[in-house]
Copies of this chain bind each other. A is one copy, B any other.
Amino acid sequence: MPTYITPIKDIMYNLTDVLNIEQYQSFPGFEDATEDLFKAILEESGKLCEEVLLPLNTIGDIEGCTRHKDGSVTTPKGFKEAYKLYCEGGWLGISQDPKYGGQGLPYIVTILLEELLASANMSFNMYPGLTGGAASAINVAGNDKQREKYLPNLHSGKWTGTMCLTEAHCGTDLGLMRSKAELQENGIYKVTGSKIFITGGEHDLTENIIHLVLAKIPGGPEGSKGISLFIVPKIMINDDGSLGEKNGVMCGSIEEKMGIHGASTCVMNFDGATGYLLGAEHDGLKAMFIMMNGARIGVGIQGLAQSEVSYQNAANYARERLQMRSISGTKNPDGPADPIIVHPDIRRMLMDARAFNEGARSLAMWVSLLPNFVKGEVDEKKREEYNDLLGLLTPVMKGYFTDKGYENATNAQQIFGGHGYIKEYGMDQFVRDARIAMIYEGTNGIQALDLVGRKLGANGGRAIQSYFALLTKDIEENEDPTSDEFIKPLKAALGDLQSASIWLLQNATKNPDNAGAASYAYMHLLGLVALGHMWLKMAIKSSKVLKEGSNDPSFHENKLITARYFMKRMLPETSAHLKKVEAGADIMMALKADSF
């Protein structure tokens, strides 16, 4: 059975040493966000993750969800009790508006919890995860009455929420949507259509489920411009807040999937269900994208989370499993063989994961402050810059983090050899669960297109220019001979990113397919540079701490060791990505479709 230890020390290091979080206490929500409070939150939620949610992860995988003939769905044994504990902890509304029952702490707290929860039990965490997304959409797009009606119960976890976008014939291309919403005389709508892949569409955790449903109002514009968003409760809500009759929505079936078996993935049939317009008519995609952008960061965190928990288990196994002798001389002479952690190729997989995990965590924490900077900054130019960076890095976090999450989970499984392939050790679940994160909330290919097609070119390349300026500043400020081993590789990688960006700016207009052909490699290139940036910050900080004297020197020495590994082994991959970018679209598009 897998184990999991909350990485509190590494998170606190980022909060205090790298981000110096207490400097932001003038920002709204940060007044009380002291280091002590963060630590208390991490310890308390960590306990829930380690003791309750992790053991349920295996059970959820084996048992899965069950749909009954009446359309009701039972979650795996123990999920209901765990959900109750989760709600009692107040974790769901921790960053939400206190006006509606939230705790008003900064967004970074939610992001930290996402990592812990998704490491311990990714399937379980999807129920509250989607609920948070639905609440955000109602908060942004809804009116006061809607906020008052839904948010307190969503923030407390009394109800959960869903995101109903996909139909069998349309996933990415929402313009093809067939679900419709017809206006009734009383100002409400009747929603009809069938939605697929609806996470948490039906379950037994709560008494009600608030579906956010995309549908077309007949007579509206064609394609994606004619899509509206509706609130469709599973059970109607009376004016006094009590529950009324069942609404016309039903789970038609649940999907059999490769993984995340503990999360119910439903076909949801809406049959003249009562729906309330959320936001303006035909303006549904805007609200949905608010929800989606947060969800994309959350899915990126799932990649990190699966990488972290599988890494921890692989490291434990590598320390214990005795097999062969070290090629550089026996390391465990009293045992029948050496622990496999002495073998460089086992180290390769562990170090790859470790350097990614710590870099990605650091990046995620910094990115999760950006929304606060956007709100809290006085300087409008600065606000715009932070908003640009958030937009630029969101698809990178989703695409790059989840690709690496799958790769690292696969490597962690590999360290177990044949024992990783059988169910006994639970390592294959991490791989199967991590796999979905590359697909949902927009496939990673769509993230790459969002990055290159939307974010890169917008406002004359303003976002990437800001990022270059930030990186250059951080490099220049730290340039001295003692930091060469960190500065030089980052400079080279930044050079590759700049070349790739220039190539794109020059060639994407000539032939838009050049953007598409380059997009995936560009996303990985940017991901590497972004991690390199955080590793530079960490290396500089840990060097400084060591110079000044630390009561935990080995922690900082390990940071430097891992930083060196990242800079020397991983970051230079940027050059191969640059070559792919520069290879262009022609060779990729030359084959006729029917020749494949």
Contact = CB atoms under 8 A, between A and B. Distances in A.
Contacts of A342: 593
A564 interface: yes
Contact of A591 (B418, B558, B576, B587): B558
A197 B323 CA distance: 17
Nearest to A567: B587
B422 A512 contact: no
Interface in A315-364: 315, 318-319, 322-324, 326-328, 336-337, 339, 341-348, 350-351, 354
A554 B593 CA distance: 13
B589 A580 contact: no
A436 B435 CA distance: 16
A406 interface: yes
A527 to B, nearest CB: 15
A329 to B, nearest CB: 8
Q: How large is the interface on A (under 10, 10 to 19, 20 to 34, 35 or more residues)?
A: 35 or more
Contacts of A319: 593-594, 596
A113 to B, nearest CB: 25
Interface string A566-596: 0011001101100110010101111111111
Contacts of A444: 414
A504 interface: no
Contact of A421 (B258, B322, B516, B575): B258
A417 B439 contact: yes
A561 interface: yes
A354 B596 contact: yes
Contacts of A448: 345
Chain A interface, >50% SS class: helix
Given A512-B328, A569-B583, A347 B257 contact: no
Copies in the complex: 2
B564 A590 contact: yes
A511 interface: yes
A446 to B, nearest CB: 8
A339 B172 CA distance: 12
Interface in A128-172: 166, 169-172
B257 A561 contact: no
B439 A345 contact: no
A428 B341 CA distance: 31
Contacts of A580: 569, 572
A453 interface: yes
A45 B170 CA distance: 39
Given A171-B417, A439-B417, A593-B319, A516 B343 contact: yes
A484 interface: no
A505 to B, nearest CB: 16
Contacts of A445: 343, 345-346, 414
Nearest to A62: B256
A594 B341 CA distance: 10
Contacts of A590: 561, 564-565
A588 B348 contact: yes
A337 B176 contact: yes
A550 to B, nearest CB: 15
Contacts of A196: 418
A32 interface: no
Nearest to A325: B173
A432 B257 CA distance: 12
Contact of A420 (B324, B432, B439, B569): B439
Given A328-B511, A431-B435, A171 B418 contact: yes
A449 interface: yes
Contacts of A182: none
A444 B265 CA distance: 35
B327 A516 contact: yes
A423 B327 CA distance: 44
Nearest to A586: B564
Closest 10 CB pairs of A and B: A344-B516, A315-B596, A258-B428, A576-B576, A344-B517, A345-B445, A327-B512, A256-B423, A173-B323, A572-B579
Given A258-B422, A561-B587, 17 more contacts: A169-B322, A172-B323, A173-B324, A256-B422, A258-B432, A318-B596, A343-B445, A344-B513, A344-B585, A345-B449, A345-B517, A410-B435, A432-B432, A558-B595, A562-B591, A564-B587, A569-B583
